[in-house]
A and B are shown apart, each in its own frame.
Chain A
Amino acid sequence: MSTIHSKNAEIFNKDRAKTTWHDQTFWALREKHDNMAEQLPEWEELRSHASDIKCHTITHLADYLEKFSANLESRGVIVHWAADASEFNETVLDILKSHNVSKMVKSKSMLTEECEMNPYLEKHGIDVVETDLGERILQLLNQKPSHIVVPASHLKREEVGRVFEQKGISKEIGNYDPTYLTRCARYSLRKEFMDAGAGMTGCNFGVADTGDIVVCTNEGNADMSTSMPKLHIVAMGIEKLVPDYDSLAVFLRLLCRCGTGQPTTAFTSHFRQARPGAEMHVVLVDNGRSDIIADKEHWQTLKCIRCGACMNTCPVYRRSGGYSYTYFIPGPIGVNLGMLHDPQKHSENVSACSLCLSCDNVCPAEVAPGSQIYLWRQSLEALGKANKMKKIMSVGMSVLFNNPALYNTALKFAPLANIVPESITNIGHLNPWGVGHGNPEFAKKSFRRLWREGLK
């Protein structure tokens, strides 16, 4: 009965103090989002525009990609088309090998996580250095991101400090001050930027009209990664396209306000071509996105701009953490993306949702991740993944609720359940609904009976 998610969540919840801290950390981000939204009277107008622009772009994607790639190529940028993760990884390796690159610095990219690029390149002898502080910490700890925007938020400063000590990045043993640790990382990464042979960035938005690759960071690490090396490789999922600068303005106003509750990231960089004496490559990746377009129920998942707002607000994510889910992207949007990627493998995540739909209400692109999880649950039967116990109960409830006489009789005798000791109904945790819940107490007289008596 228990899903992988619920088992992992149980382990996560063993450290109650840390769970509470995790919950509060992300609720604080949600509150910052609210504060930002309240300052803009046009907030809902921005959301509906974001959704409409994405609907238009996604359903005209081939045309916009042609325009976008032509603009890039007109300025000497080399554009590659990768059908799937392995084509993407091979393309990146080929580019690096043809330039004799042994070390590549990179800024944050969920696409490279999706394609498992780092382990592939490392296997082929490339030293890949993450330069976003959170991603760097995770790389040193050999962990995966637990959130798409703030990837190392599950870690305490002591955990960061200890790994910095082990790796020789921090010299003052026992100094776990975040400012000190950040300075140590700055010093260490500065050396990496100086001698890396290539820099890779993701792409938050591609602008079809101008051929701009737009990358948003707070640290400036995408710019550091591309200002020194003579080779810039962009990893871009095809759904990142927007038509023009007017559209881009809408998304940039929403992205960071929704994600971290800031009015903007510190750096919003626009790359249109290689810097003097350098070379720029853009690898456009499908990896299942063209199949999602054909999915009538779930194609709007492609509107997602990866802001992380749905995770921050999700009561299940906040209390179960990013590692409880089976897909590498957690939270409401991750449940959906996992199902689109491989429903057999990730179907257990769909129960990690209370259907409160808070995510639907904060999503800047109106993806409605919670409503889509509801739809996925309806498809579990067809996937052969429906829970057997729930199925039996559903049949039972159907009989009960479709038979008024039976229902009334059951209701009359329901108070008898009050005298059954909880040690029997909840024996050995056979009843999963008994965990953390007491039995409800049935009233001696039902509402129906009270109503009838009142009428007399």
Chain B
Amino acid sequence: MNKEEFLNKLRANTTQQFDMPDMNINGIKYEDTIAQFISMTETSGGKVVNAKKDDNLNAIIREVYPDAKVIASNVSGIDASLNPDTVAEAQDLNGTDVGVVNGEVGVAENACVWVPQSMKEKSVCFISENLVIILHKSSIVDNMHDAYKAIHMTDYGFGCFISGPSKTADIEQSLVMGAQAARSVTIILID
């Protein structure tokens, strides 16, 4: 069907119209936003490691994932054997033990971290067995209303809120971490 016919039928069948409500919603605010974010991350199956501005992130990643052989990242300063910007195909990142990416905004109410695509192959965010997200404490907001005012989309036109590891409860409602994407998520929270 062409677009005009499609839309004309919709217009013809619409006999009443409603206005948008005012959007001043009293979204929840937490006394300690950072503490709420950390607690929700742990509830969602994620791990939080606090770090100072000048800490050695590579050492922190080694400590959390001592057995990791393949690390994939395009974040400057991160020791990685694969770079999602330079791999020929997205599939080449399969077998990554730890993917390391930057998060832009953290959300206290549900542990979401906005990860905008800042690499050629976004598969690094999902295909890695374990995912490390680097996030600054100052970028944590209380709720999703605040989050949507704070996030940005890169020119790649993709971004994802990630809250803890991939999970499923499809077999008898028993929760299993690591369905199709990362089996563990660690947030490195920088002061």
Chain A interface (Cβ < 8 Å from any Cβ of B): 25, 28, 39-42, 45-46, 48-49, 52-53, 55-56, 59-62, 65-66, 69, 75, 79, 81-83, 87, 131-134, 137, 150-153, 155-157, 160, 178-179, 181-183, 185-186, 189-190, 193-194, 210, 218-221, 223-224, 227-228, 238, 243, 245-250, 252-253, 260, 262-273, 275-276, 284, 286, 290-291, 293-294, 296
* Residues on the B chain within 8 Å of A250, using CB: 25, 145
Which residue of A is nearest B144, CB measured?
A249
* Residues on the B chain within 8 Å of A248, using CB: 148
Per-residue A-contact encoding for B153-183, CB less than 8 Å = 1, 0 else: 1001111111111111111111010111110
Q: How far is the CA of A248 from the CA of B159 in the complex (A)?
A: 15
Q: How far is the CB of A131 from chain B (nearest CB, A)?
A: 6
Residue in A155, A157, A219 whose CB lies within 8 Å of B179: A219
The answer to whether A81 touches B148 (Cβ under 8 A) is no
Which residue of B is nearest A79, CB measured?
B3
**Known pairs A133-B170, A263-B111; A276 contacts B156 (CB<8 A):** yes
Residue B19 at the chain A interface, CB threshold 8 Å: yes
Residue B109 at the chain A interface, CB threshold 8 Å: yes
The answer to whether A263 touches B126 (Cβ under 8 A) is no
**Known pairs A224-B127, A249-B144; A66 contacts B21 (CB<8 A):** no
The answer to whether B145 touches A183 (Cβ under 8 A) is no
Residue in B23, B120, B181 whose CB lies within 8 Å of A223: B181
**Known pairs A228-B91, A263-B40, A266-B167; A183 contacts B178 (CB<8 A):** yes
The answer to whether A69 touches B180 (Cβ under 8 A) is no
**Known pairs A52-B18, A82-B1; A227 contacts B122 (CB<8 A):** yes
Can you list 26 A-B pairs with a CB-CB distance of less than 8 A? A52-B18, A52-B20, A61-B10, A81-B6, A82-B1, A133-B170, A179-B174, A182-B179, A183-B178, A186-B179, A218-B168, A219-B168, A220-B166, A221-B181, A227-B126, A228-B91, A245-B148, A250-B25, A250-B145, A253-B109, A266-B164, A270-B153, A272-B158, A275-B117, A290-B10, A293-B10
The answer to whether A219 touches B25 (Cβ under 8 A) is no
* Residues on the B chain within 8 Å of A66, using CB: 7
Residue B17 at the chain A interface, CB threshold 8 Å: yes
The answer to whether A133 touches B171 (Cβ under 8 A) is yes
Given pairs A181-B171, A238-B10, A263-B163, 11 additional interface contacts (CB within 8 A): A60-B14, A69-B3, A79-B3, A150-B173, A182-B168, A221-B181, A247-B23, A248-B148, A253-B144, A268-B160, A275-B121
Q: How far is the CA of A66 from the CA of B11 in the complex (A)?
A: 12
The answer to whether A62 touches B179 (Cβ under 8 A) is no
Residue B50 at the chain A interface, CB threshold 8 Å: no
Q: How far is the CB of B89 from chain A (nearest CB, A)?
A: 8
* Residues on the A chain within 8 Å of B89, using CB: 228
* Residues on the B chain within 8 Å of A178, using CB: 171-172, 174, 176
Q: How far is the CA of A82 from the CA of B6 in the complex (A)?
A: 8
Q: How far is the CA of A41 from the CA of B143 in the complex (A)?
A: 13
Interface residues on B, range: 35 or more
Per-residue A-contact encoding for B8-29, CB less than 8 Å = 1, 0 else: 1111011111111101011110
Q: How far is the CB of B40 from chain A (nearest CB, A)?
A: 7
Which residue of B is nearest A294, CB measured?
B13
The answer to whether A59 touches B17 (Cβ under 8 A) is yes
Q: How far is the CB of A162 from chain B (nearest CB, A)?
A: 12
The answer to whether A152 touches B180 (Cβ under 8 A) is no
Residue in A45, A160, A190 whose CB lies within 8 Å of B94: A190
Q: How far is the CA of A266 from the CA of B160 in the complex (A)?
A: 10
Per-residue A-contact encoding for B80-95, CB less than 8 Å = 1, 0 else: 0000000001110010
The answer to whether A62 touches B174 (Cβ under 8 A) is no
Residue B147 at the chain A interface, CB threshold 8 Å: yes
Q: How far is the CA of A49 from the CA of B121 in the complex (A)?
A: 37
The answer to whether A60 touches B153 (Cβ under 8 A) is no
Residue B139 at the chain A interface, CB threshold 8 Å: no
Q: How far is the CB of B150 from chain A (nearest CB, A)?
A: 10
Among A179, A182, A185, A262, residue most surrounded by chain B Cβ atoms (within 10 Å): A182
**Known pairs A41-B28, A218-B179, A250-B25; A266 contacts B162 (CB<8 A):** yes
The answer to whether B126 touches A249 (Cβ under 8 A) is no
Which residue of B is nearest A161, CB measured?
B171
Q: How far is the CA of A80 from the CA of B65 in the complex (A)?
A: 46
Q: How far is the CB of A248 from chain B (nearest CB, A)?
A: 7
The answer to whether B20 touches A53 (Cβ under 8 A) is yes
Residue B33 at the chain A interface, CB threshold 8 Å: no
* Residues on the A chain within 8 Å of B174, using CB: 178-179
Q: How far is the CA of A178 from the CA of B179 in the complex (A)?
A: 11
